[in-house]
Structure 1
Amino acid sequence: MNELAPQRPDIAGARLDPQALARNFSDVHPPLEAHEALVEADRCYFCYDAPCMEACPTSIDVPLFIREIQAGNPIGAGKTILSANILGGMCARVCPTETLCEEACVREAAEGKPVKIGLLQRYATDAVMDTGRHPFTRAAPTGKRVAVVGAGPAGLSCAHRLAMLGHDVVLFDARQKPGGLNEFGIAAYKATERFAQKEVDFILSIGGVSVETGKALGRDIHLADLRRDYDAVFLGLGLAGVNALGLDDETAGGSHDAVAWIAELRQTTDLAGLPVGRRVVVIGGGMTAIDAAIQAKALGAQEVTVAYRRGQDAMNASRYEQELAQTRGVHIRCNLTPKRILAANGHVSGIELERTATVDGRLVGTGETVIVEADQVFKAIGQAFDPAGIASDGSEAQGLATENGRIKVDAERRTSLPDVWAGGDCVVGGEDLTVVATEHGKVAAMSIHAALTAEPRGAVEAIKNKVLGAVEALTGATR
């Protein structure tokens, strides 16, 4: 097999003019106008058993909020959503609704066209946020202090609910800006106009939460100290580790971690100044791979290929996201696994891939290889929990049980340490979804509140009902 001839790296910025970049990175789902929202809300059957609500990880009362929109009360609808999911605005933008609430919609089963629940949720939550006022108020101070480590969806959700219940919260994050995955990991065309930071500001406006950025667990703060100085600790650490391909020349110029590249793209103020290759290959089959591929194409890459080791049906990215990539010019090639990154003069010139097959349920290589030319290769084969932060505490953290490299928790998100809770992607069962992490944070906050106020173990559901009752009193909603 012939190797690729040495070539000049073809990575550059300003491949497209500003107008083209603005179009390519515009909102992938423009918001509904008021009339459109009313028409869409009128399609809902308001099912008694509400399969859409059952499919929502945060149990948003979907029929109720849609009925409130139909009645001309988008503010009330937004409050209904936010009472269950305080990050409902971002979830409306990034949740795979096509495989959650909308897939469960009776309209989907009946006619293949579900109610546009995600867009209706965005319409309602945007209405609340546009008022400039927080919809909920804090309970009387409890005098308790809770440390929340990680200002991503799980940590923000936990901090907000604890503050709402009257506790004081200190929210720590290793980065210089809060938001976690929503700020640094979501494709730019899904959360435009700095929405992630607007939502953070909205969440924190409840009061009672102070934020300390640039504070990494195990470096600047330590679990043992937090357990000593606070009444409870919540760990929403996310997945800081990135899986490697384990190939020769993996560190050659033009070989990138897709997560870090997306973070750089999200933080840049000049998309035209962000270099991109003419030929780009992305290794992986999840949302990160698809997001990296679409954005590379949006920056002006001429050829973008996603290479995935199994069949297309096995990809973690939803079918909708795959189709979005393909309609934007991304090639998805399946049953290909990376064998070698090819480099010339220290820079990526291509990648060698082996064709795979499934035999007796096992993925095997066929021995047949192909070479794809590339100036850039992005690795998006999953992230892993980095235990360095908790490991640095030595014996103090030895009681923190883990399983398959993640933190073990019970149904209330309690860890094996009596005063430590955890949630989001860093725990066993984390699903790499904003909406799931948000629910983890909310459940943990209710459990922490029960523990700090001497409520009996298992009182989380009772506390949840109290909170919902208070919200109903504010919104005038009835159940």
Structure 2
Amino acid sequence: MDAKALAPGIQPGRLDKAGIEAGFSDLHPALDDHEALVAADRCYFCHDAPCATACPTDIDIPLFIRQIATGTPDAAARTILSQNILGGMCARVCPTETLCEEVCVRETAEGKPVEIGRLQRYATDTVMAQYVHPFERDALTGKRVAVVGAGPAGLSCAHRLAMMGHDVVIFDERPKPGGLNEYGIAAYKSTEDFAAREVDWLMGIGGIELKSGMALGRDLTLERLTAEYDAVFLGMGLGGVNALGVPGDDRDGVVDAVDFISELRQAPDLTTLPVGRNVVVIGGGMTAVDAAVQCRLLGARDVTIVYRRSQSRMAASRYEQELAQAKGVRIICNASPVAVHGNGTVREIEFAYTGDDLTPTGETFRLPADQVFRAIGQTLAGVGLPDLDGRKIAVDGTGRTSVKGVWAGGDCASGGDDLTVTAVAEGRDAAIDIHTRLMEQANG
């Protein structure tokens, strides 16, 4: 956060190191061996498992839990990672409460599902701790594929392509790989530098080269990539951020939530990270919740999320909403910003109450704020892209774009739901289709 944005109410060191460490400890601590066996024993191992159907990466959940129950977590990890190579991170950040665990038979019968996410973490952590990559590369094909973006979609695509014998070069704009996992996940969900460690482990398959500081449209063009490589996968996510579009949006203290989270994730000492006394976060998704909760954990006195629709329509899961409220975050719904007030620096933000159709009711209110975070969605940034579907790259079911030899997946592509696990699935499936197309071409 640059010095210009430091209004009088924004300051570092609101909590001491002990307070910060307590707040940012692991949200869901790892299971030990005994706890994992007890948790696995609750699974019914359903033949037509609804949990597996609900998993975007199609992991055979009953199988991997049975493998844990029989004392073979290595085999369980292979079951998971064969479908989702970023299974370790997904075990930490995937909204299991609205996917696999929501449809668990135990949840339906007892209101307490099998802890699928924590069991998945137990298995994948076991294998990663051995520093041995569980997969080997097939015979080399001599084909080279460019992947733009080292986030979940790009990493998943690159790993699967490398495993199938292709050589891959990943281009990423940021200095460190990982994308959302490295820069955009709440710090209490991914502790101990896990995102970076997972990327290093993934790259152990071999055949993948990473080139950082390379952005499409600035350092690269799609025309150049398609000329130099046998195929291209676009997985660069969304680089732009939507503006509030109200008077005063440019005042000091009004910043993008994604930039705040990124700075927090990269800060070596969170006691030095400035945070406001009165913080307002505008939006209803996971970025809004992550920003709001972390402000509270940094010592902000009053933190409020304001969302323009009803609470039931927030993109953040009910579990995440309740987590925010448990941490002391207030949630106000059916309200849209109309103006940011202050003399150069934000002091208040004004909202208008709205109906379900977003029509203003005529009633307004103001919240004191020395820090305002925009978390109202991101936009696709770049020039010379394939055809768009609305604000994202148009793709078919296998990730093919309007440009021959170019695939796309993850947040930058249409059809997804902006989840890490979905991005992994899209990257994997695009890699399989790329491989099929390249082998068809090679065989004439």
Q: What is the correspondence of 1:463-478 to structure 2 with a 5 Å cutoff? A: none
CA shift at 1:58, angstroms?
0.2
Is the contact made by 2:352 and 2:364 (CA closer than 8 Å) also made in structure 1?
A: yes
Is the contact made by 1:259 and 1:380 (CA closer than 8 Å) also made in structure 2?
A: yes
CA shift at 1:455, angstroms?
7.6
What does residue 4 of structure 2 align with? none
Equivalent position amino acid for 1:352 in 2: E
Q: What SS does structure 2 have at the residue aligned with 1:416? A: coil
Q: Distance in 2 between matches of 1:256 and 1:296?
A: 13
Q: Distance in 2 between matches of 1:153 and 1:291?
A: 19
The reply to whether residue 357 of structure 1 matches residue 361 of structure 2 is: no
Q: What SS does structure 1 have at the residue aligned with 2:362? A: strand
What does residue 403 of structure 1 align with? 389
Is the contact made by 1:51 and 1:105 (CA closer than 8 Å) also made in structure 2?
A: yes
Equivalent of 1:368 in 363, 368, 379:
363
What does residue 385 of structure 1 align with? 380
CA shift at 1:402, angstroms?
1.2
Q: What is the correspondence of 1:45-444 to structure 2 with a 5 Å cutoff? A: 45-344=44-343, 346-358=344-356, 362-386=357-381, 388-389=382-383, 391=384, 400-444=386-430
Equivalent position amino acid for 2:439 in 1: T
Is the contact made by 1:349 and 1:375 (CA closer than 8 Å) also made in structure 2?
A: yes
Is the contact made by 2:392 and 2:413 (CA closer than 8 Å) also made in structure 1?
A: yes
CA shift at 1:411, angstroms?
1.1
Q: What SS does structure 1 have at the residue aligned with 2:205? A: coil
Equivalent position amino acid for 1:366 in 2: T
Q: Distance in 2 between matches of 1:84 and 1:67?
A: 17
Equivalent position amino acid for 2:362 in 1: G
Alignment: residue pair count? 437
Q: Distance in 2 between matches of 1:347 and 1:247?
A: 15
User: Deviations 1:217-261 (Å, cap 9, x if unpaired)?
Assistant: 111111111100100000002011101101112111111100011
Is the contact made by 1:9 and 1:349 (CA closer than 8 Å) also made in structure 2?
A: no
Equivalent position amino acid for 1:365 in 2: P
What does residue 32 of structure 1 align with? 31
CA shift at 1:311, angstroms?
1.1
Q: What SS does structure 2 have at the residue aligned with 1:367? A: strand
User: Deviations 1:111-133 (Å, cap 9, x if unpaired)?
Assistant: 11100000000000000100001
Q: What SS does structure 2 have at the residue aligned with 1:201? A: helix
Q: What SS does structure 1 have at the residue aligned with 2:341? A: strand
Equivalent position amino acid for 1:438 in 2: V
Q: What SS does structure 2 have at the residue aligned with 1:98? A: helix
Q: What SS does structure 2 have at the residue aligned with 1:337? A: strand
Is the contact made by 1:149 and 1:235 (CA closer than 8 Å) also made in structure 2?
A: yes
Q: Distance in 2 between matches of 1:83 and 1:125?
A: 11
CA shift at 1:417, angstroms?
1.5
Q: Distance in 1 between matches of 2:398 and 2:16?
A: 51
Equivalent position amino acid for 2:438 in 1: L
Equivalent position amino acid for 1:97 in 2: T
Q: Distance in 2 between matches of 1:159 and 1:190?
A: 25
TM-score for both structures, normalised by structure 1: 0.90
Structure 1: runs of 5+ lacking an equivalent: 1-7, 392-396, 458-479
User: Deviations 1:272-303 (Å, cap 9, x if unpaired)?
Assistant: 11100000000011000000000000000000
Equivalent position amino acid for 2:197 in 1: K
CA shift at 1:431, angstroms?
1.2
Q: What SS does structure 2 have at the residue aligned with 1:172? A: strand
CA shift at 1:363, angstroms?
2.0
Q: Distance in 2 between matches of 1:377 and 1:225?
A: 41
Q: Distance in 2 between matches of 1:265 and 1:249?
A: 25
Q: Distance in 1 between matches of 2:441 and 2:31?
A: 43
Q: Distance in 1 between matches of 2:247 and 2:395?
A: 38
CA shift at 1:9, angstroms?
2.4
Equivalent position amino acid for 1:354 in 2: A
Q: Distance in 2 between matches of 1:343 and 1:92?
A: 43
Q: What SS does structure 1 have at the residue aligned with 2:168? A: strand
Stretches of 4+ aligned residues off by more than 4 angstroms: none
CA shift at 1:456, angstroms?
11
Is the contact made by 1:9 and 1:348 (CA closer than 8 Å) also made in structure 2?
A: no
Q: Distance in 2 between matches of 1:84 and 1:172?
A: 24
CA shift at 1:376, angstroms?
0.3
User: Deviations 1:130-176 (Å, cap 9, x if unpaired)?
Assistant: 00010000011000000000000000000000000000000000111
Q: What is the aligned-residue RMSD (CA, Å)?
A: 1.2
Q: Distance in 2 between matches of 1:416 and 1:432?
A: 21
Is the contact made by 2:334 and 2:358 (CA closer than 8 Å) also made in structure 1?
A: no
CA shift at 1:37, angstroms?
0.5
Equivalent position amino acid for 2:379 in 1: A
Q: Percent identity?
A: 62
Q: Distance in 1 between matches of 2:74 and 2:441?
A: 33
Is the contact made by 2:156 and 2:424 (CA closer than 8 Å) also made in structure 1?
A: yes
Structure 2: runs of 5+ lacking an equivalent: 1-6
Q: Distance in 1 between matches of 2:209 and 2:176?
A: 13
Q: Distance in 1 between matches of 2:416 and 2:177?
A: 20
Q: Distance in 2 between matches of 1:204 and 1:61?
A: 24
Q: Distance in 2 between matches of 1:75 and 1:348?
A: 53
Equivalent position amino acid for 1:315 in 2: M
